[in-house]
Amino acid sequence: MVKVKKRIIYVSPHTDEDLGHLSSSLQIQNIMSKSVYGLLEKTDFETLVVNSPSKLQDNGVFIRKQQKKGTIRLGYINLFLLREISLSFNLFNCLRKELNKNDIVLGYNFGPTFFLALLFCKKKKVLFGTFFLDPPTIFPGLGRLKNILFKIWNNISKVLSKKINFVITIAPPIIEDFFPNLPSKNKLVFPLCYSHDYLNEINSFRYNETEFNSEDNLSFLFAGNLDYHNDIELLLKVFSQRPNINLILYGGGRLEQKVIEYSKKYDNIKYNGLADYSTLIKAYQSTDILLAPRSIKNDRDKFLSKYGVSSKLSELLLFGKPVITRNIPAIPENIIDYVFKYDSDDDFIKIIYDMNNDFKCYYDQAQANKEKYVRNFSWDNQVNLLEEFLESLKED
């Protein structure tokens, strides 16, 4: 009897070419996608990737479908709402032509784009699952119309979550709260991994240390969105009261003007604005301690702290410096012991004080944490975990 080969149809939001450059906001998405691409080398699976061209590559209103071996790039109408609607219908038509009963359909997150496709998969009794990493939430400043659309997206996602067959995620609370009725064998909490490409990029940069940190005082670095949910106000308050340690900030956002004001008033607070890729890596390399704070002051902050996994933690660990972050439910289980956590503002102040008094102890521990993380959690090491999970679904 001939063994039928199972095929994964992976619905990705971007192309494989987009995976070459790892930015902070896309790293999780890229690493999860690379794990699927890693299955191309496995004998038990074939892989068909269905995606759309990068928005950076969009040119014109009508984007044509493109197809090559192993990849289908959907066409769509490149106009706001029509983009999602046209992608939804084109994905449905693609699966209608390509799907067979031995396939597994795996999508990155889901929402209205997957609605018709999921209903079709259910009708054909084909397994449909998701890398569910970004629960939709309401962001301030988007305007009334976009917030209404986010609410619609959220409600559709809730409906779809009850119809999928399996889920893969990084934040454990997502499993517990969004998919309580799925059998445990159909749920996988995937480790937050890193990419060898990104590690090699870090190691390829060299810097002049005096360019960033010429003082004897310890330096703490935050790079990212200067917004309330990143506890920027706490950073400014704490460091403005401690002139013997330096706070370096990169980024932009709603609190940028406040950061500028503090940097002018306090000599130990330095704001360097937005930075290019190489400048930021050099800054990470030359700074003593790296910060990834999170606020839990309001409902939106609490939502993000529970479900919003930050790829930044995986990036920061690769520098071998102490990484400070708030102890929140969204911290992936595989790195929770590799970062230095605080539960309250007072805890944060205590960690700063302790590191300032005995930096070498914390630095040595951070170096050991980096070695363990690099050894155990590269994305290619995790391909086997993903394969075993999908194999177990195939056998049902």
Domain membership flag for residue 156: yes
Domain membership flag for residue 290: yes
As a whole number of angstroms, the longest Cα–Cα distance in the chain is: 78
Q: What is the pLDDT of residue 22?
A: 37
Flag whether pLDDT at 160 surpasses 80: no
118 vs 308: CA distance, rounded Å: 25
Claim to verify: residue 367 and residue 259 sit in the same structural domain: yes
Cα angle: 68, vertex 69, 75; to 5 degrees: 35
Please give the average per-residue pLDDT across 142-153, as a whole number.
Answer: 68
* Paired sense of beta strands 71-73 and 66-68, if any: antiparallel
Claim to verify: residue 357 and residue 391 sit in the same structural domain: no
Q: What is the pLDDT of residue 2?
A: 45
Q: What is the pLDDT of residue 311?
A: 73
Domain membership flag for residue 1: no
Distance from the Cα of residue 172 to its chain's centroid: 14
In the chain, the percentage of residues whose pLDDT exceeds 90 is 31
Q: What is the pLDDT of residue 211?
A: 45
When mean pLDDT is compared over 54-63, 146-155, 187-196, 359-368, the highest value belongs to 359-368
Out of 16-20, 111-115, 314-318, 338-342, least confident range:
16-20
Q: What is the pLDDT of residue 212?
A: 43
Name the CA radius of gyration of the chain, rounded. Answer: 22
pLDDT in tens, 285-303: 999 999 999 998 888 788 8
Domain membership flag for residue 28: yes
Residue that is written with structure tokens 């805890």 in the block: 347
Domain membership flag for residue 98: yes
Claim to verify: residue 242 and residue 299 sit in the same structural domain: yes
Please give the average per-residue pLDDT across 74-98, as a whole number.
Answer: 82
Claim to verify: residue 209 and residue 179 sit in the same structural domain: no
- CATH number for position 38: 3.40.50.2000
Mean pLDDT across the chain, nearest whole number? 80
- Give yes or no for a contact between 48 and 142, defined as CB atoms under 8 angstroms apart: no
When mean pLDDT is compared over 90-104, 233-247, 309-323, the highest value belongs to 233-247
In the chain, the percentage of residues whose pLDDT exceeds 70 is 79
Claim to verify: residue 303 and residue 354 sit in the same structural domain: yes
Please give the average per-residue pLDDT across 225-230, as a whole number.
Answer: 91
Claim to verify: residue 255 and residue 297 sit in the same structural domain: yes
Flag whether pLDDT at 109 surpasses 60: yes
pLDDT in tens, 348-367: 999 999 999 999 999 999 99
pLDDT in tens, 5-64: 678 888 876 544 443 333 444 455 555 666 666 665 655 667 777 776 655 455 677 777
Q: Give pTM, 2 decimals.
A: 0.78
Sheet architecture: strand order including 127-131:
66-68, 71-73, 45-51, 6-11, 103-108, 127-131, 166-169, 187-189
395 vs 298: CA distance, rounded Å: 45
Claim to verify: residue 202 and residue 171 sit in the same structural domain: no
Claim to verify: residue 166 and residue 292 sit in the same structural domain: no
Domain membership flag for residue 356: yes
Q: What is the pLDDT of residue 382?
A: 74
Q: In terms of pLDDT, which residue wins out, 388 or 212?
A: 388
Domain membership flag for residue 112: yes
Please give the average per-residue pLDDT across 63-86, as a whole number.
Answer: 77
Residue that is written with structure tokens 């390829």 in the block: 204
Flag whether pLDDT at 279 surpasses 70: yes
Claim to verify: residue 229 and residue 122 sit in the same structural domain: no
Claim to verify: residue 41 and residue 67 sit in the same structural domain: yes
Domain membership flag for residue 90: yes
CA proximity to 150, closest of 135, 163, 165, 160: 135
Boundaries of domain holding 188: 6-193+378-395
Please give the average per-residue pLDDT across 82-93, as a whole number.
Answer: 83
Number of domains in the chain: 2
Helical spans, DSSP H, in 136-290:
144-161, 172-178, 196-204, 232-240, 256-265, 277-286
Flag whether pLDDT at 170 surpasses 60: yes
H helices then E strands: how many in the chain? 14, 16
Claim to verify: residue 92 and residue 210 sit in the same structural domain: no
pLDDT band at 251 (very low <50, low <70, confident <90, very high): very high
Claim to verify: residue 296 and residue 385 sit in the same structural domain: no
